[in-house]
């Protein structure tokens, strides 16, 4: 829900204060992830690139920041019966890990088509796995059923201020590690990552440019920005299994007001960027994780005069949970 304050100004689900609180809350649990650079990729893109390696976050993705903040925000009473989520993967593992650290149960509803390695991660962290059909109705109805049975707390993977605040800690770190950054590119799906990143970065440097990268086959964010309201699409079709969700009512106002542009890329551009990540950066990203690099190398970015001043570009490599078999198939398909 959006919250209207008394004087009519819209408030957002998170802000710099909730993000700094999150940082204090989670800093002893999370990894401060490294920032990599590559002269070869700088030359290829014509910019200086700063790769924030969130694939080296615990659980293999940025999601642990938000999940950890949400779980440790709960009072002891709230936490006692555990937490629930429905997620195709990285948030699920992240929540299981955070719950394990807090010593409470985690009930994870996972669609049947989720990548095997992501399901294994949930199991590794002790999450209790409940399978559902691969559509939002089944995810939500299964969650409601488990909720009733257990009395646990539902923690949404992106449409939650606590999650958004956790993800925002990436910008606090990144702009300390590379203060010269004038542009940040992050993947967009449900919008939790980019909402947190944008809020924190714009507070630190209002002139910073925030760009979202999105697959053409799941371009609801680009359509929403163009329409000025949330647009959902009947079907998504992309190799980036982490980028198939739609904006929520809490992430949308932040995306609308703080994300400067959405760059859409083809699946083959994502695969090509992944290969560069493997062969040049030596980092084993998942497809969703490589989309920021794909965006920087796309003609839509390179040839657009609006982006000619994007000289120092932070790229969030959001995760690295990938089945090698699936990965290769995606190379073969090109």
Is position 87 annotated as part of the catalytic site?
no
Q: In sequence order, which residues have a C-beta less than 8 Å from that of residue 329 and are 6 or more positions away?
A: none
| Packed helices 251-258 and 192-204: angle between N→C axes, nearest 10 degrees | 40
Q: Which stretch binds a second copy (CB under 8 A): 54-62, 66-74, 239-247, 294-302?
A: 54-62
Q: How far apart are CA 14 and CA 197, in angstroms?
A: 11
In the complex, the smallest distance separating the C-beta of residue 67 from a second copy, rounded to whole angstroms, is: 17
Please, are residues 186 and 212 in contact by the beta-carbon 8 Å criterion? yes
| Contact status: 230 vs a second copy (CB under 8 A) | no
From 104-112, 149-157, 251-259, 316-324, span contacting a second copy (CB under 8 A)? 316-324
Is residue 84 within a helix (H) or strand (E), and if so which, with residue range?
A: strand 83-86
Told to check if 324 binds a second copy by CB under 8 A, we report yes
Query: What mask, x for binding a second copy by CB under 8 A, covers residues 11 to 50?
Result: -----------------------x-x---x----------
Selected binder of a second copy within 60, 105, 192, 242 (CB under 8 A): 60
328 binds a second copy (CB under 8 A): yes
| Cβ closest to a second copy, residue 140 vs residue 323 | 323
Q: How far apart are CA 277 and CA 286, in angstroms?
A: 10
**Residues 6+ away with beta carbon under 8 Å from 206:** none
Closer of 39 and 176 to a second copy (Cβ): 39
Judged by beta carbon, residue 22 or residue 35, the one nearer a second copy is 35
| Alpha carbon separation from 214 to 64, 69, 142, 192 (Å, rounded) | 21, 26, 28, 14
293 scored as a contact of a second copy (CB under 8 A): no
Q: Does 334 bind a second copy (CB under 8 A)?
A: no
DSSP secondary structure letter of residue 281:
I
The region of 52-60, 129-137, 227-235, 256-264 touching a second copy under the rule CB under 8 A is 52-60
- Evaluated on CA atoms 264, 183, 13, 156, the torsion sign reads positive
Task: Write the binding mask 258 to 277 for a second copy: x where contact by CB under 8 A, - elsewhere.
Answer: -----------------x-x
Q: Select from 2-10, 73-81, 138-146, 321-329 the region that touches a second copy (CB under 8 A).
A: 321-329
Q: How far is the CB of 227 from a second copy (least distance, A)?
A: 37
228 conformational bin, left if phi > 0, alpha if psi -120 to 50, beta if neither: left
Nearer to a second copy, 59 or 161 (CB): 59
**Of positions 22, 35, 49, 55, contacts a second copy by CB under 8 A:** 55
Residue 195 catalytic? no
Of the candidate residues 251, 301, 320, 330, the single one contacting a second copy (CB under 8 A): 320
Name 11's bridge partners. Answer: 3
Min dist CB 113 to a second copy, Å, is: 19
Q: How far is the CB of 91 from a second copy (least distance, A)?
A: 18
Please enumerate in sequence order all residues whose Cβ is within 8 A of that of 162, keeping only pairs 6 or more positions apart, or say none. Answer: 18, 22, 66, 69, 70, 73, 155
Cβ atoms within 10 Å, residue 254: 23
**DSSP 3-state of 299:** helix
Residue tagged active-site, from 52, 58, 63, 225: 63
Q: How far apart are CA 62 and CA 89, in angstroms?
A: 12
Count of other CB atoms within 10 angstroms of residue 15: 18
Active site residues: 63, 88
What does the binding site for a second copy look like in residue numbers (CB under 8 A)?
A: 34, 36, 40, 55-56, 60, 117, 124, 275, 277-279, 281-285, 320-324, 328, 331
């Amino acid at each position: 829900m959006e919250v209207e304050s008394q004087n009519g100004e819209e408030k957002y689900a998170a802000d710099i204060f909730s993000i700094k609180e999150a940082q204090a809350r989670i800093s002893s649990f999370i990894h401060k992830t490294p920032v990599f650079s590559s002269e070869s990729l700088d030359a290829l893109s014509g910019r200086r690139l700063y790769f924030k390696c969130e694939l080296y976050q615990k659980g293999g993705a940025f999601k642990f920041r938000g999940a950890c903040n949400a779980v440790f925000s709960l009072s002891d009473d709230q936490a006692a019966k555990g937490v629930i989520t429905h997620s195709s993967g990285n948030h699920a593992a992240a929540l299981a890990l955070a719950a394990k650290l807090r010593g409470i149960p985690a009930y994870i509803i996972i669609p049947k088509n989720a990548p095997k390695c992501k399901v294994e991660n949930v199991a590794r962290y002790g999450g209790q796995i409940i399978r559902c059909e691969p559509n939002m109705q089944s995810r939500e109805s299964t969650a409601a059923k488990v909720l009733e049975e257990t009395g646990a707390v539902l923690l949404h993977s992106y449409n939650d201020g606590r999650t958004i605040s956790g993800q925002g800690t990436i910008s606090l770190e990144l702009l300390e590690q590379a203060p010269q950054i004038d542009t940040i590119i992050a993947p967009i799906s449900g919008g939790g990552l980019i909402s947190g990143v944008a809020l924190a970065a714009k507070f630190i440097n209002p002139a910073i440019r925030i760009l979202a990268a999105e697959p053409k086959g799941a371009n609801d964010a680009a359509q929403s920005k163009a329409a000025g309201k949330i647009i959902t699409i009947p079907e998504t079709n992309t190799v980036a299994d982490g980028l198939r969700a739609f904006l929520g009512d809490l992430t949308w106002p932040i995306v609308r007001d703080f994300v400067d542009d959405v760059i859409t890329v083809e699946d083959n551009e994502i695969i090509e960027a992944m290969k560069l990540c493997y062969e040049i950066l030596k980092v084993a990203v998942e497809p969703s994780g490589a989309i920021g690099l794909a965006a920087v190398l796309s003609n839509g970015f390179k040839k657009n005069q609006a982006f000619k001043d994007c000289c120092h570009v932070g790229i969030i490599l959001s995760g690295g949970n990938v089945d090698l078999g699936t990965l290769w198939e995606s190379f073969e398909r090109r």
